[in-house]
Structure 1
Amino acid sequence: MSEVQVVRGEMQPWTDHTVARPALAALLSDVVPANRRTLILGPHAPQLIESVLAHSSDVTMLVRSVADAQQLGEDFGPCLQVIAGALDGLRAEPYDVIVASDGLDRVLGYDSADLSWTERLAAVSALAAPDAVVVLGLENEFSLLNLLDSRPADERHGDDEWRPLHDDPTRPVSVEQLKTALPWQAEVYADFGNRTFVRADVATEARPGELPTRLAAGALESVDVPLLSPAGEGVDTAARAALLASIPTGWLAIAGAQPTHDIYAQTAQTVLTADENLTGWAVALTGDTTPEPSSTTGAAMNSADLLFFDPAVVPSTVPSGVSVESLLFRLASAEDVPAFRKLAADLGEWVTDSRVIVRWDDVIYDGDSFSHGVSAWVTEEPVEKQDLLAAAWSRFHDRLIGQHRRHPWPPWMVGDDLVSAWLGMSGIEPPEQTQATSPDTATAAAEQVARGKELAAALNAVLETGTTTVDVRTALAEAEEAKHELFELKGHVYGLERTLGFRNKAMKTRENRIRELRGQLQRLTVAHERIRGSRTYAVSRVIFHAAQVRKPKVVARKLARRIRKR
């Protein structure tokens, strides 16, 4: 354990929360020069510290929390000199490298002077050598997640994120303002959710459905923040307006060094790097590139649905076209069913039996042909073409219907029936309809897409999509649908109650009629018994039987014989 040096402005008891950022660690590995005197300013995750230590021989780290400083001293030992205190309390010789990727919000203590962002930047500049490499982060107050955050401003930061800077007029709020405020020439990266870093000029030129936009949307969708509306839709709108570089969660300015790649993105246990060229994107994966099974467990993942991350299936060159999902969304919104059907048919011809899980948001269409993107999730054994298409269409259904996008299909044709219809457009024959043997019997469409839905659920689980809080707009739309359904059910219940009332009245009428008839029957029975016991009835019966005699002489002779016998 190394000894912790304490300067003015330390905070105790206190700790600053940090998160691992593999993509940023890969970026720092490219820009931090070797064997330089380095200062790490502010709280950073151990992974980032290790990335800096791997390149620098003399590393000093300044954190305001004494508890954090002691823990860092225990973890890294004598290879890292730790100082506990505030930025305005640090007095040292200029450093060759300054890494402040966490920004300047968490570098002052309780008793520090109320320095503005510009004054903090001046203090950092005083610690930098003339030719120093400076990596400086800045939180974006105009970020899409900040604008869509449904929480009040006073609830967005907990006690473990004490940030005194929130309303500083000197604080930059755009890429141009940041470049102007810095005393150095700097390259700026847009930081999307600490998972994807895109060069600012590349992000500005990106359009909906292209690789930078897809990676940025995926990164923001994985952030667990209660939103007013889906983040993906806002990302596409910003990209259409050439404002993708204006809405990230933050920026990263790099001065004194030239970054190697245009994009750094975290994907599973690896980091994806991409560089734009004339034909598309040159893609590479760094880190642990050995195939690894997903670690997700639960109902959505069983032995049959186990997915593997296999970097070998990622192509080295990805075309510069747009995703198939963007085209399908566009055609569905325009209600162009013939074009949608033709695109679905072409996709059905392109997909073949494979281990790679097909997802339309990562299949690129360049105007002539289709190609896989950067998704590396595969199954252990090849999957049939029908199941791959069912998985792709099931995921598309969840993103189309779940986000309440416009489409030409009737509202009652959703779920398995709609997915089955899309499969038919892709050339998969619809299943033969069979008669249900019980109320719980699954439909033929449900049986056709069952395997595909399992694969889609497993993919969503490993991509960490669908796990965030439901946005307010979706919740309101679902509440409105529930209200409409409740109104229809109330009408149905009223109709049933009225029908039951009519039937009840009819049954009461029948009951009264039956009682009347029963009373009449009882009276008639009593009268009938009284008549049968009278002499008149007996005489009438004798006369009746006598009238039935056809040969009176024969009867008379028989009667005479009986009389003589008696």
Structure 2
Amino acid sequence: MSEVQVVRGEMQPWTDRTSPRPALAALLTDVVPANRRTLILGPHAPQLIESVLAHSADVTILVRSVADAQQLGEDFGPCLQVIAGALDGLQTPPYDVVIASDGLDRVLGYDSADLSWSERLAAVAALAAPDAVVVLGLENEFSLLNLLDSRPAAERHGDDEWRPLHDDPSRPVSVEQLRTALPWTAEVYADFASRTYVRADVAANARPGEFPTRLAVAALEQTDVPLLSPAHEGVDTAARAGLLGSIPTGWLAVIGAQPSHDIYTETADTVLTADQNLTGWDTTISGEPVPATELSFDPGVVPATVSAGVSVESVLFRLASAEDVPGFRKLAADLGDWVTESRVVLRWDDVVYDGESFAHGVSGWVTEEPVEKEDLLAAAWVRFHERLVGQHRRHPWPPWMLGDDLVSAWLGMSGVEAPEQTPATSPDTPPATSEQVARGKEIARALDEVLGTATGTVDVRTALAEAEAAKHELFELKGHVYGLERTLGFRNKAMKTRENRIRELRGQLQKVTAAHERIRGSRTYAVSRVIFHAAQVRKPKVVARKISRKIDRKIRKR
């Protein structure tokens, strides 16, 4: 463990949270010169510190938290000089390399002077030699995530961050303002959620559906910020206006060195770098990915050159929004002809279309064994259905034709014949279409899990749309319940009428029965019965002789 030096402005007890940033580590590896005296300002993940230590002989890190400084001293030992304190308390000779990729928001303590962003930048410039390499991060207050954040401004940064001067007029909020504020000539990268770094001029020329825009959308979709509306809409609109470089979560300025690549992006624990050429993008992948549960990332299936076209998903969205069903059907048929049995999981948001042919993008997620063409198409169409319907996009199909029926229709457009309909054996038996896309749903669900989009937060617009749909459904159910209650009321009244009538008839029956019993017990009734039976006698003389004999027998017995 190395000894921790303490300067003015240290904070204790305190700790600053950091997270690994593989793409930034790869960028630092390209720009940090070897064997130079290096200063790291602010909290940085151990992975970033290791990438700097691998190139520099004399590395010093300044963190304001004493607890963080002690932990760094234990982790890196004497190869890293650790200083606990604030930026305004550090007084040392200039450094050859200054790295402040975390920005200048977490370099002051609660006892520090009230320095603005430009004053903090001046303090950093004083610590850098005239020909120093400087890497400076800046959070973008005009970022799309910041504009769409549903939380109030006072709740976006809690006490665990302690970022002073949130409202600073001297703070740059655009690429041009950042370049103007810096006392050096800088190469600026657009930082999308610390997962993707795109050169600012490349981002400015990107359009919807193109490679940089697809990477930006993928990076922003994995954030857990509660949004007012989906981020992809704002990204596509900004790209269409040539403003993709103006709406990232932040920027990274590199001074005194030229990065090797146009794009650095993180994917499946690997880092993909890309350089623009005349026909597309040259890509390379470094790092060993960690296999997932159902799917794994295979760098070998990622093409070395990616086409400069747009994604198939973007084209399908446009055709669906324009209600161009023939064009949609033709593109789906062409996709069906292009797809073959493979281990690579199909994603329409990664398959590139140049107007004539299709090509795989940089998604290297594969299955363990080759998958049939029909299952790959089913997985791609299931995922497209979730993104089309889940994002409430316009489409020409009726609202009741959703789910398996719509996916089966798209599969039919791609040349996959629907299975024969089987009779249902019970009310819970799923239709044949559900059996057809079941495997596709499994693959699509596994892909969403490894991409980190399965448990994404629901934006407010979607929540409001779902609430409105639930309200409409509740209104219809209330009407249905009212109709049932009215019918039941009518039936209840009819049953009460019948019950009253039955009671009346029962009372009348009791009265008649009582009267009948009284009549049966009277002598008149007995005489009438005798007369009745006498009237039934057909031979009176025979009856008289029988009666006479019976009377004689009774007399003799006496």
2:108 aligns with: 108
* Counterpart Cα distance in 2 of 1:559 and 1:72: 134
* Counterpart Cα distance in 1 of 2:63 and 2:338: 55
The share of aligned pairs that are identical, in percent, is: 79
Aligned pairs for 1:347-358 within 5 A: 347-358=335-346
- Structure 1 residue 44 corresponds to structure 2 residue 32: no
**Bigger mean CA deviation after superposition, 273-282 or 385-394:** 385-394
Contact residue 12 and residue 66 of structure 1 kept, 8 A: yes
2:461 aligns with: 473
* Counterpart Cα distance in 1 of 2:256 and 2:109: 29
* Counterpart Cα distance in 1 of 2:495 and 2:529: 41
Q: Which amino acid aligns with 2:322?
A: A
Q: Secondary structure at the match of 1:265?
A: strand
1:243 aligns with: 243
Q: Which amino acid aligns with 1:334?
A: A
- Structure 1 residue 408 corresponds to structure 2 residue 396: yes
Q: Secondary structure at the match of 2:92?
A: coil
Q: What whole-Å deviation, never above 9, does each CA across 1:520-554 have from its counterpart, x for those lacking one?
A: 556666777858956557656776786xxxxxxxx
Aligned pairs for 1:199-238 within 5 A: 199-238=199-238
Contact residue 343 and residue 368 of structure 2 kept, 8 A: yes
1:64 aligns with: 64
Q: What whole-Å deviation, never above 9, does each CA across 1:54-75 have from its counterpart, x for those lacking one?
A: 1111111111122211111111
Contact residue 27 and residue 259 of structure 1 kept, 8 A: yes
Q: Say which of 404, 416, 432 aligns to 1:444.
A: 432
Relative to structure 1, is the Cα distance of residues 112 and 563 closer, same or farther in structure 2, using a 3 angstrom cutoff?
Answer: closer
Q: Return the offset for 1:439.
A: 2.8
Contact residue 531 and residue 537 of structure 1 kept, 8 A: no
1:459 aligns with: 447
* Counterpart Cα distance in 2 of 1:534 and 1:317: 120
Q: Which amino acid aligns with 2:108?
A: L
Q: Say which of 414, 430, 434 aligns to 1:426.
A: 414
Contact residue 311 and residue 348 of structure 2 kept, 8 A: yes
**Bigger mean CA deviation after superposition, 336-345 or 67-76:** 336-345
Aligned pairs for 1:508-519 within 5 A: 508-518=496-506
Relative to structure 1, is the Cα distance of residues 514 and 424 closer, same or farther in structure 2, using a 3 angstrom cutoff?
Answer: farther
Contact residue 209 and residue 322 of structure 1 kept, 8 A: yes
Contact residue 137 and residue 252 of structure 2 kept, 8 A: yes
Q: Say which of 322, 336, 344 aligns to 2:324.
A: 336
Contact residue 96 and residue 128 of structure 2 kept, 8 A: yes
Q: Which amino acid aligns with 2:45?
A: A
Q: Secondary structure at the match of 1:229?
A: coil
Q: CA RMSD in A?
A: 2.3
* Counterpart Cα distance in 2 of 1:44 and 1:108: 15
Q: Secondary structure at the match of 2:343?
A: strand
> Would you say how many aligned residue pairs link Structure 1 and Structure 2?
546
Relative to structure 1, is the Cα distance of residues 545 and 263 closer, same or farther in structure 2, using a 3 angstrom cutoff?
Answer: farther
Q: TM-score, normalised by structure 1?
A: 0.91
Relative to structure 1, is the Cα distance of residues 545 and 184 closer, same or farther in structure 2, using a 3 angstrom cutoff?
Answer: farther
Q: What whole-Å deviation, never above 9, does each CA across 1:195-245 have from its counterpart, x for those lacking one?
A: 000000111111111111111111111111111111112111111111110
Relative to structure 1, is the Cα distance of residues 543 and 424 closer, same or farther in structure 2, using a 3 angstrom cutoff?
Answer: farther
2:89 aligns with: 89
Q: Say which of 329, 333, 336 aligns to 1:345.
A: 333
Q: Return the offset for 1:415.
A: 2.0
1:184 aligns with: 184
1:361 aligns with: 349
**Bigger mean CA deviation after superposition, 464-473 or 216-225:** 464-473
- Structure 1 residue 136 corresponds to structure 2 residue 136: yes
Relative to structure 1, is the Cα distance of residues 517 and 181 closer, same or farther in structure 2, using a 3 angstrom cutoff?
Answer: same
Q: Return the offset for 1:416.
A: 2.1
* Counterpart Cα distance in 2 of 1:564 and 1:72: 139
Relative to structure 1, is the Cα distance of residues 425 and 543 closer, same or farther in structure 2, using a 3 angstrom cutoff?
Answer: farther
Q: Which amino acid aligns with 1:293?
A: P
Q: What whole-Å deviation, never above 9, does each CA across 1:482-538 have from its counterpart, x for those lacking one?
A: 111111111111111111112222223333444445555566667778589565576
Q: Which amino acid aligns with 1:481?
A: A
Q: Secondary structure at the match of 1:293?
A: coil
Q: What whole-Å deviation, never above 9, does each CA across 1:413-455 have from its counterpart, x for those lacking one?
A: 2222222222222222223333332232222222221121111
Contact residue 65 and residue 85 of structure 1 kept, 8 A: yes
Q: Return the offset for 1:250.
A: 0.3
1:398 aligns with: 386
1:17 aligns with: 17
* Counterpart Cα distance in 2 of 1:199 and 1:20: 21
Contact residue 445 and residue 454 of structure 2 kept, 8 A: no
Q: What whole-Å deviation, never above 9, does each CA across 1:45-89 have from its counterpart, x for those lacking one?
A: 100000111111111111112221111111111111111222222
Contact residue 358 and residue 389 of structure 1 kept, 8 A: yes
* Counterpart Cα distance in 1 of 2:439 and 2:536: 86
2:149 aligns with: 149
Q: Return the offset for 1:265.
A: 0.4
Q: Secondary structure at the match of 2:61?
A: strand
Relative to structure 1, is the Cα distance of residues 112 and 560 closer, same or farther in structure 2, using a 3 angstrom cutoff?
Answer: closer
Relative to structure 1, is the Cα distance of residues 317 and 541 closer, same or farther in structure 2, using a 3 angstrom cutoff?
Answer: farther
Q: Secondary structure at the match of 1:479?
A: helix
Relative to structure 1, is the Cα distance of residues 563 and 410 closer, same or farther in structure 2, using a 3 angstrom cutoff?
Answer: same
Q: What whole-Å deviation, never above 9, does each CA across 1:72-123 have from its counterpart, x for those lacking one?
A: 1111111111112222222222211111101111112222221211111111
2:555 aligns with: none
Gaps of 5+ in 1: 296-305, 547-554
1:321 aligns with: 309
Q: What whole-Å deviation, never above 9, does each CA across 1:389-409 have from its counterpart, x for those lacking one?
A: 221111111111111111222
Relative to structure 1, is the Cα distance of residues 535 and 345 closer, same or farther in structure 2, using a 3 angstrom cutoff?
Answer: farther
2:292 aligns with: 294
